Amino acid sequence: GAVVSQHPSWVICKSGTSVKIECRSLDFQATTMFWYRQFPKQSLMLMATSNEGSKATYEQGVEKDKFLINHASLTLSTLTVTSAHPEDSSFYICSARDHSGRDRNIQYFGAGTRLSVL
């Protein structure tokens, strides 16, 4: 099946620094990728939809200047948390859809990134 790789899996940073998270589709091309945030024992909250070659579509309440998304190629999307603060600490997960695959409606998820801001 389709594989999505997310890196890093865990990052600790100081308040005020920026953190970049990478999401790669390893064996398929993903024109659309999604970024989610998940708090303990809560649902995945969609932050934004990343579109290859164009601007990301952010969900209501998500600061686009805070969470920068770049989807420069068909296999890579990045999420940069700028000037991170402790309240940004969370579990961030990316996903991608294989539009050329047998079932285009399945989302394949990365393993997630645990961000801790001190």
Partner 1 sequence: SQKIEQNSEALNIQEGKTATLTCNYTNYSPAYLQWYRQDPGRGPVFLLLIRENEKEKRKERLKVTFDTTLKQSLFHITASQPADSATYLCALANFNKFYFGSGTKLNVKP
Site of interaction with partner 1 (CB under 8 A): 4, 6, 32, 34, 41-44, 46, 49, 91, 93, 95, 103, 105-112, 114
CB of 15 to partner 1, least distance (A): 23
CB of 12 to partner 1, least distance (A): 15
Nearer to partner 1 among residue 12 and residue 15 (C-beta):
12
Nearer to partner 1 among residue 93 and residue 117 (C-beta):
93
CB of 68 to partner 1, least distance (A): 21
Return the residue matching tokens 């190629």.
73
Nearer to partner 1 among residue 15 and residue 102 (C-beta):
102
- Rounded Cα distance between 17 and 7, Å, is 18
8: cis peptide before it, omega within 30°? Answer: yes
CB of 53 to partner 1, least distance (A): 16
Nearer to partner 1 among residue 75 and residue 113 (C-beta):
113
For residue 95, CA distances in Å to 12, 17, 75, 85 come to 22, 25, 11, 24
Q: Which two tokens stand for residue 46?
A: 């969609």
**Hey, what amino acid is at 22?**
E
**For the chain, first and last CA: distance in Å?**
37
